[in-house]
Amino acid sequence: MSESKNPERNSAQWKKNEKIITKDPVLRKARDISEGFTPGSTITTGVNDQQYKDNYDKIEWGKNKKKPTFKVRVNGVVQNDDEEE
Residue 1 has pLDDT above 60, yes or no: no
pLDDT at position 20, please? Answer: 92
Residue 83 has pLDDT above 60, yes or no: no
The average confidence (pLDDT) of the chain is 76
- Spell 22-52 as b/e; 16+ CB within 10 A means b: eeeeeeeeeebeeeeeeeeeeeeeeeeeeee
pLDDT tens track for 34-49: 887 776 555 566 677 7
Contact predicate 61/67, CB 8 Å: yes
> Structure pTM?
0.39
